[in-house]
Amino acid sequence: MEPRLVITKPVRQHHTSSNFFNHLDWQFRFLILLITSLLIFSGCQIFIPGNNNTAVTHITLWQGVNPPPNRDVLQKLVDKFNQTHPDIQVESLYIGQQDQQMPKILAAVVGNAPPDLLWYNPTIGGQLVELDALIPLEEMLNQSPIKGEIDPTLFESMEYKGKIWSVPFATNNVGVFYRPSLFKAAGITELPKTWDELRQVAKKLTRDTNGDGKIDQHGMFLPLGKGEFTVFVWLPFMWSGGGELVAGEKQTPSAVELANNQGAIAGLQLWRDLIADGSVILSGPERGYETDALLAGKVAMQLTGPWTLGQFQATGVDFDVFPIPADKRPATSIGGENLFLFKTTPEREKAAFKFAEYALSEEFQTELALGTGYLPINMKARQNPKYLEYAKQQPAVKVFLEQAKFGRSRPIFPGYNRVSENLGRAIESVLLGKASPTEALKESQQRLDLIFK
């Protein structure tokens, strides 16, 4: 039953003057108009009779959770929060994928109408800090017991210029999904651990399976495009080759080093060699996240993450995961999204942090992981009996958990989007055979120097 505002009209006392009664009627009508206006325009706080006059604070969460079944998991968790926190009501709004979100986010910030919470990958952090849009979280987080439960490797993605500006929502990293049945058919009994072994295995998996003289199964699927997904899954090869995206301790775009980055050159050369070997199918432009070719058995290996576990389980095909083969050192990219809290009002900021604490909790993280395949950011959730049973039934989860210790985060300084774009252009140019790794990285460095130096 919806709460109703009940107003009792005061009993009039006898008075000989009719002007007094007219004056009282005017006051009563004004009182009704005033209260009605307050209820309509108060927006975020409403007083409910029968609830000890507790103010209900309404906050919004903008997110781009995908695929749709994962959004359903999130909505159930938001509904649970709303049921257990009657003084705070969260509205979760899907506003498109991250490339589609950026214009909306910037317009909301500039228009002084931001959401209370934003779900986005950590690389946006520096830009929002420079726009003075976020509230720093270290003070509230230091007072919360939940801080000690966060995976320590994720703090790098939360910090900028010595302050914490976001909290992790979910995490993942990149591994190699593969089809064991195809490995067995090709006579492969050992999983590749080095780059050379990866090339050899990819060659063996590139086969004419029906005897018509044409290759109908390739060893590996690689993402084509200059978007963030391509950069995200390629960066482990740069790090594994001994390279660093930012030279020295100075975390700024002007410190990005591509032209003489030997790890980047080696990582791009490996991808080019796989193509030259004839072992690779390239994705459609900016569609490197699609797994149709692997599910159909047209390729045997693909770089992707635990966010696809649900999809693979639903299809019933055989699959497994192994860590990204290493050159000089093991490496993977840490992915996932963080929650950012915007400057609004003290009441809404406090309510938003309350929801953020809930999102960090063992309960939330366990249910999110079981429903989506994301890795829990809460260390207690990783030891939760439900999650341990899930991991036991799905060995791929263990690979991602163990590989996480080699994970690296992308920079969060303002301008990372320009760095990523130009690095993506270099990757695309090499994959299409338009330039060598050295030439492509040199061209990207020249463009970055024009922008930042």
pLDDT in tens, 388-421: 999 998 889 999 999 999 999 898 888 898 999 9
Here the tokens at position 297 are: 């058995």
> How confident is the model at residue 133, as a pLDDT?
96
Query: What distance in Å separates the CA atoms of residue 434 and residue 277, rounded to the nearest whole number?
Result: 17
Q: For the chain, how far is it from start to end, CA to CA, in angstroms? A: 63
Does any domain span residue 34?
Answer: no
The rounded percent of the chain whose pLDDT value lies above 90 is: 71
Contact (CB, 8 A) for 217 and 295:
no
**Confidence at 43, pLDDT banded by 50, 70, 90:** very low
306/421 same-domain check: yes
Residue 399: per-residue pLDDT: 95
Task: Please name which of 432, 172, 192, 427 lies closest in space to residue 300, comparing C-alpha atoms.
Answer: 192
**CATH number of the domain where residue 392 is located:** 3.40.190.10
Q: Does residue 199 lie within any of the structural domains? A: yes
Domain shared by 81 and 207, yes or no: no
Q: Sign of dihedral through CA atoms 258, 259, 263, 267?
A: positive
Q: Enumerate the β-bridge partners of residue 91.
A: 60
Same-domain status, 62 and 130: yes
Instruction: For residue range 344-371, list pLDDT tens digits in order.
Output: 999 999 999 999 999 999 999 999 999 8
> What is the maximal distance between C-alpha atoms in the chain?
110
Give the model's confidence band at 68: pLDDT under 50 very low, under 70 low, under 90 confident, else very high.
confident
pLDDT above 60 for 273: yes
Q: Cβ(441)–Cβ(272) under 8 Å?
A: no
pTM of the model: 0.80
What would the pLDDT profile of 223-248 be if each residue is shown by its tens digit?
999 988 999 999 999 999 999 998 77
pLDDT tier at 47, thresholds 50, 70, 90: very low
- Examine the domain organization and report whether 220 and 91 are in the same domain: no
Helix (H) or strand (E) holding 362: helix 362-372
Which tokens in the block code for residue 319? 């699959």
Is residue 9 in some structural domain? no
Residues 316, 305 share a domain: yes
pLDDT reported for residue 311:
84
Q: Which amino acid is at 214?
A: K
CA angle 415, 416, 421 (to 5 degrees): 105
Cis geometry, peptide bond prior to residue 67 (ω within 30 degrees of 0): yes
DSSP assigned state of 211: S
User: What's the confidence (pLDDT) of residue 38?
Assistant: 38
* 54 HSE (CA, 13 A, CB side): 12
332 and 175 Cβ atoms separated by less than 8 Å: yes
pLDDT tens figures, 304-350:
999 888 888 888 999 999 999 999 999 999 999 999 999 999 999 99
Query: What pLDDT does 354 receive?
Result: 98
- Indicate whether 96 belongs to any domain: yes
Q: Token match 């490197």: residue?
A: 288
Say whether pLDDT at 21 is over 70.
no
Alpha carbon 384 to its chain centroid, in Å, reads 23
Q: Angle at Cα 156 formed by Cα 420 and Cα 443, nearest 5°?
A: 20
Domain identity same for 68 and 217: no
| 325 and 443 belong to one structural domain | yes
251 and 327 within one domain: yes
Q: How many domains does the chain have?
A: 2
User: 113 is in which domain, residue-wise?
Assistant: 55-172+336-408
Q: In the structure, what pLDDT confidence band is assigned to residue 187 with cuts at 50, 70 and 90?
A: very high
User: 391 and 421 share a domain?
Assistant: no
> Do 322 and 341 belong together in one domain?
no
Q: Which two tokens stand for residue 417?
A: 């989007």
Considering the chain, what is the average pLDDT of its residues? 88
Closest among 77, 51, 91, 170 to 352, alpha carbons compared: 91
DSSP 282-344: EPSTT-TT--HHHHTTSEEEEEE-GGGHHHHHHHT---EEEPPPBSSS--EEEEEEEEEEB--
pLDDT in tens, 416-443: 989 999 999 999 999 999 999 999 999 9
